[in-house]
């Protein structure tokens, strides 16, 4: 099965041209209807409910937390949690707290990545970034609150008939994926590489940490919630890391050739800042080929290992065909 990556159809506007109108969020191909859309609707309802009920904070801080966590996003990571749970034979609804926890970690990382001291971005998901909307101090605090809430939410797996041992294992997985050795290390390596010569190996080290680790944890935690044996949990974690690398290569390609209207954030920023990207390291044709190769390998391994992985594999297809 060929997984040809979507090629952006429009170039970024010329310098000095008018900024496009903020785009309305739209679902990725394959998520607008059907079983994946059902899971997405249930997740959105659950996330909104648990944030408003359990992550209450006074005044503007509460607004900033809700703005960061509930802004219209693709929700790919929580969907990977739910479909991985299903792939190993579990009921996907029991993994909803884990899906919310992963999305909160992701939201935290975006809020902090966008800060002036980090990537200094003005737009995210088609809207002003959290620090642009609420100020830098509240942006930092909202991110802090979301990372703490993620682990509070993960503990609620016990209310969905997930054993205490599996809750502990899921907590360890998410802590490692979001901590100093993985996601945060990836951001540090990314910052250190700005404006410097880049290699394929160096970019891979960044992408596997900054993106791959959390996607790997998403699949592994979903498998834990679904009752999978330890070997399958680890296999899915490793598959998720490779999927994350492919996802980030594709993101690099989109940043190089899309618009604000397509991405919901500024395009061309990677090149402007001299970021360590796959296209910069190996060129656009090879980057596109490498992403497709990784995605095809992920699809093949999922099909061989888990007969119930149809929805998970369809989600991978949605990642392969996305244009934002």
| Domain-wise residue ranges, the chain | 35-321
1.10.600.10, 3.40.50.2300, 3.40.50.20, 1.10.10.10: CATH of 35-321:
1.10.600.10
Whole-number pLDDT of residue 10: 34
CA 151 to chain centre: 17
User: Residue 90 pLDDT > 90, yes or no?
Assistant: yes
Residues 6+ away with beta carbon under 8 Å from 298: 239, 242, 243, 246, 316
d(Cα 27, Cα 36) in Å, to the nearest integer? 11
Whole-number pLDDT of residue 162: 96
Say which range, 13-27, 54-68, 154-168, 184-198, has the weakest mean pLDDT: 13-27
Whole-number pLDDT of residue 26: 54
User: Residue 279 pLDDT > 80, yes or no?
Assistant: yes
Both tokens of residue 273? 């800042």
Distances in whole angstroms, Cα of residue 149 to Cα of each of 95, 122, 167: 16, 25, 15
Distances in whole angstroms, Cα of residue 125 to Cα of each of 3, 68, 73, 97, 281: 25, 10, 6, 23, 27
Whole-number pLDDT of residue 247: 93
Distances in whole angstroms, Cα of residue 47 to Cα of each of 14, 70, 106: 39, 8, 13
Whole-number pLDDT of residue 318: 87
User: Residue 245 pLDDT > 80, yes or no?
Assistant: yes
- Model confidence at 319, pLDDT cuts 50, 70, 90, reads confident
Report the mean per-residue pLDDT for the chain.
87
User: Residue 6 pLDDT > 50, yes or no?
Assistant: no
Mean pLDDT of 204-230: 97
Please, what's the b/e burial string for 265-297 (b: 16 or more CB within 10 A of its CB; e: otherwise)? bbbbbbeeeebbbbbbbbeeeebbebbbebbbe
Whole-number pLDDT of residue 23: 45
d(Cα 59, Cα 44) in Å, to the nearest integer? 23
Q: Please, how many CA atoms are within 13 Å of residue 105, restricted to the half-sphere of its CB?
A: 31
Ranges of beta strands (E only) in the chain are: 123-124, 127-128
115-160 pLDDT, tens digit per residue, is 999 988 999 888 999 999 999 999 999 999 999 999 999 999 999 9
In degrees to the nearest 10, what's the CA dihedral of 160, 44, 175, 277? Answer: 150
- Greater confidence, 282 or 9? 282
- Model confidence at 269, pLDDT cuts 50, 70, 90, reads low
Whole-number pLDDT of residue 249: 94
20-67 pLDDT, tens digit per residue, is 444 444 556 557 668 999 999 999 999 999 999 999 899 999 999 999
Q: What is the DSSP letter of 147?
A: H
- Model confidence at 246, pLDDT cuts 50, 70, 90, reads very high
What sign has the CA pseudo-torsion 222, 224, 228, 229?
A: positive
Residues 6+ away with beta carbon under 8 Å from 118: 112, 187, 191
């Amino acid at each position: 099965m060929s997984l040809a990556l979507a090629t952006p159809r429009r170039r970024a506007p010329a310098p000095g041209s008018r900024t496009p109108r903020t785009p309305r969020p739209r679902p990725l191909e394959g998520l607008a209807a059907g079983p994946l859309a059902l899971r997405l609707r249930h997740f959105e309802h659950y996330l909104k409910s648990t944030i408003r009920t359990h992550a209450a904070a006074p005044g503007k801080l509460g607004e900033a937390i809700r703005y960061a966590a509930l802004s219209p996003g693709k929700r790919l990571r929580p969907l990977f949690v739910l479909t991985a749970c299903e792939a190993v034979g579990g009921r996907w609804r029991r993994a909803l707290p884990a899906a919310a926890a992963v999305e909160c970690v992701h939201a935290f990382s975006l809020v902090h990545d966008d800060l002036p001291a980090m990537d200094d971005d003005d737009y995210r998901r088609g809207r002003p970034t959290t620090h642009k909307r609420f100020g830098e101090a509240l942006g930092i605090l909202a991110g802090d609150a979301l990372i703490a809430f993620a682990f509070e939410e993960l503990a609620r797996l016990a209310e969905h008939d997930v054993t205490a041992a599996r809750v502990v294992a899921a907590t360890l997985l998410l802590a490692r994926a979001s901590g100093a050795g993985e996601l945060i290390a990836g951001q540090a390596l990314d910052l250190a590489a700005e404006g410097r010569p880049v290699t394929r190996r160096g970019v891979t080290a960044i992408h596997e940490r900054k993106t791959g680790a959390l996607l790997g944890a998403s699949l592994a935690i979903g498998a834990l919630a679904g009752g999978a044996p330890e070997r399958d949990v680890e296999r899915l974690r490793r598959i998720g890391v490779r999927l994350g690398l492919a996802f980030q290569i594709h993101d690099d390609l989109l940043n190089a050739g899309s618009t604000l209207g397509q991405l919901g954030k500024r395009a061309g920023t990677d090149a402007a800042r001299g970021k360590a990207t796959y296209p910069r390291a190996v060129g656009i044709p090879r980057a596109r080929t490498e992403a497709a190769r990784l995605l095809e390998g992920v699809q093949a391994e999922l099909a061989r290992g888990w007969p119930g992985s149809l929805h998970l594999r369809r989600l991978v297809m949605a990642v392969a065909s996305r244009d934002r």
